[in-house]
Structure 1
Amino acid sequence: MVVNMKLVTTYIYLLTYILLSSGVILYNKWVLSAKYFNFPYPITLTMIHMGFSSMVAFLLIRAFKLVPPARMTLNIYVTGVIPISAFFASSLWFGNTAYLYISVAFIQMLKALMPVATFIVAVIFGADKLRVDVLLIMILISVGVVVASYGEIEFNVIGTMCQLTGILCEALKLVLTQVLLQKRGLTLNPITSLYYIAPCSFLFLLPPWLLLEKPTLEVSQIQMNLMTFFSNAFCALALNIVMFLVIGRSGAVTFRVAGVLKDWILITLSMVIFPDYFLTKLNVIGYAIALCGVVMYQVIKARDSSQHIIETIEKGNKGIEAGLAADSKI
């Protein structure tokens, strides 16, 4: 009975993640789209998210003391948190900007390149090794995305470049988090991550906001729609927390599989909510090829992780046996 309740709880988390993730993406598209809410200010929207997340994290950690702060030093903050915050802010900025030019469905297709970007960046930074089997899978994913892009009716160069730049920045953020923080023994939960990273990301977004959006943005545009921006930022914050809970409950592989399911659901919902867009055969074929590559990549990563755990256990057992042998000689 206990096992069943754990499974039910896990499925509830997964369903909540799928709904929240899809909802936040569609909500952002609706807010930024000129045909609907008509708020074409992606940097402003991202700054609202960062400001709201910073405030909530501060209250939970410092005011109410519900979440303990991490053991942060000035050196780790300067060499780790600041560069990670810069790429985090950039990934959100360019990702939200893409909504102004291309459809939600096509954005999800381009996001299939995320493993490719992460693998390349990880190899460059020495966090992963260049392997033939993984490289072939990366080529398969890339071919699938190229086919899907070729079949895209509303292809837009600016929107595509913004999304690809956002993917690259997200890959850099992920790899740098592993290289600069996790290898130093610093693990951040969703609240502590936002506490340290969100304010810094807000400051990184300030210069481009002052240059690109402030001259044409009226404060009344935000004040008149305060509840819309509040609910949008709250959904984004809830998504970050649920993602952490899902990974902790189900593991990274299950989380990725749920992400694939979420992508198909999101593509379908986007065509219902934004009926001016429809898929072509090349879109479907290309995206299916890319997703096959993504699933194969996750299988390899899961296999490598299991092998690493087995090797670690075997080394531990050998150490214990060597210790017992030494004791027996004494």
Structure 2
Amino acid sequence: MGKVGAPSDGFLRNILLSYAYIGVWIFLSFAVIVFNKYILDRKLYGWPYPISLTLVHMSFCSVLAFLLINVLRFVQPVSMSRYLFLSSVVPISALYSLSLWLSNSAYIYLSASFIQMLKSLMPVIIYSLGVALKRDTFSMKTMLNMLSISLGVAVAAYDEDKFDAWGVTLQLGALIFEAARLVMIQTLLTSKGINLNPITSLYYVAPCCFIFLLVPWVFIEYPVLRDNSGFHLDFWVFGTNALCAFALNLAVFLLVGKTSALTMSVASVVKDWLLIAFFWSVIRDTLTAVHLFGYSHTFLGVGYYNHLKLQALQAKEAQKEAAACENDEMPTYRK
């Protein structure tokens, strides 16, 4: 007999698997961010064409998702009407393509560590959109926390030696489009009972993104690439980069599906600190005491936001359990 209170082998296995999912997601997210910065930065690989890079990702993901669903039968496709596709998937794809385009463009103008700092504003934007669309209830405690997060970002931006107004505008625009996409997924798809895993999401979304991005690419980047006869696409670099981006989508599916979205949100804080440390020690991004103060202030705010979400989730689960117990205890009367 095992000792009373000792954790079971199944419990320990689940804990280890959860940490494994977190580790894989952090590694792949880390790899994609560093890889994209390496390709787009003029001082590193020197290929500052964010639309083209995103097109490579979308074409690769489209082909691979098609093969996994229709050839290898790895997952079952989701039946979707033409109306739902046009009214939900198409606008979500448009927002996603804009988010990817602008976020990749920001790497040309800003340091990677400062971009990670700006991404901490995502909870602020999502909460603001949720309140504006009446999907979230206004809370003074949450709003003060959002202001605290914004203050930390402002302090870090004040002492940023590579501050570029256009780069900040691009990154903030990317965050707004991404937040709108996440809210729209909840509004248009999840509310209708349609949940897409990353493979089926890419199966529907990636081709649409490719078409949306093809239009600005023809007018903005294609003429430059056409005149740049000295450039030859390195299939090893771009193929590996696209594969990492696809693998990251699968890691997100595993992390959220096997743990929770809240776990991913908390793990993001760890990932951001690791990225900032990497870009400071290896890429030699500037990191001052003011930066550290701003970063710490922001991450504490994000951590508190996650704590509030955890409390709300626990309260919701407790209400469900109490309601279930009441239903079980209610006597059944027969006529």
Q: Please classify the TM superposition score into its range, dividing by the shorter chain length.
A: over 0.9
Aligned pair partner of 2:101 in 93, 96, 106:
93
1:98 partner letter: A
Offset at residue 313 of structure 1 (A): 2.9
**Distance in 1 (alpha carbons) for counterparts of 2:281 and 2:297:** 24
**Distance in 2 (alpha carbons) for counterparts of 1:320 and 1:221:** 74
TM (normalized to structure 1)?
0.95
**CA-to-partner distance for each residue in 1:92-147, whole Å, 9 max, x for gaps?**
11000000000000000001100001111112222211111111111110111111
Offset at residue 71 of structure 1 (A): 2.3
**Distance in 2 (alpha carbons) for counterparts of 1:220 and 1:177:** 42
Aligned partner of residue 21 in structure 2, secondary structure: helix
**How many pairs align?**
326
Offset at residue 247 of structure 1 (A): 1.7
Name the residue aligned to 1:44: 52
TM (normalized to structure 2)?
0.93
Name the residue aligned to 1:256: 265
Name the residue aligned to 1:328: 333
Aligned pair partner of 1:113 in 118, 121, 133:
121
**Distance in 1 (alpha carbons) for counterparts of 2:134 and 2:83:** 22
Name the residue aligned to 2:3: none
Aligned partner of residue 223 in structure 2, secondary structure: coil
Contact 1:117 1:168 in 2 (8 A): yes
Contact 1:54 1:195 in 2 (8 A): yes
**Distance in 1 (alpha carbons) for counterparts of 2:82 and 2:134:** 25
Name the residue aligned to 1:299: 307
**Distance in 1 (alpha carbons) for counterparts of 2:200 and 2:69:** 8
**Distance in 1 (alpha carbons) for counterparts of 2:203 and 2:33:** 23
CA RMSD of superposed structures (Å): 1.6
Offset at residue 266 of structure 1 (A): 0.5
Aligned pair partner of 2:256 in 247, 251, 269:
247
**Distance in 2 (alpha carbons) for counterparts of 1:170 and 1:224:** 29
Q: 1:229 to 1:222 in 2, by over 3 A?
A: farther
Offset at residue 181 of structure 1 (A): 0.4
1:245 partner letter: L
**Distance in 2 (alpha carbons) for counterparts of 1:78 and 1:309:** 35
Offset at residue 78 of structure 1 (A): 1.2
Offset at residue 319 of structure 1 (A): 4.0
Aligned partner of residue 99 in structure 1, secondary structure: helix
**Distance in 1 (alpha carbons) for counterparts of 2:248 and 2:230:** 26
Aligned partner of residue 123 in structure 1, secondary structure: helix
Q: Tell me, yes or no, if structure 1 residue 31 matches structure 2 residue 47.
A: no
**CA-to-partner distance for each residue in 1:20-49, whole Å, 9 max, x for gaps?**
111110100000011111111000001110
Structure 1, gaps ≥5 residues long: none
Contact 1:151 1:281 in 2 (8 A): no
Contact 1:71 1:186 in 2 (8 A): no
2:260 partner letter: G
Superposition pairs of residues 161-172 of structure 1, within 5 angstroms:
161-172=169-180
Q: 1:199 to 1:252 in 2, by over 3 A?
A: same
Aligned pair partner of 2:131 in 123, 126, 139:
123
Contact 1:43 1:209 in 2 (8 A): yes
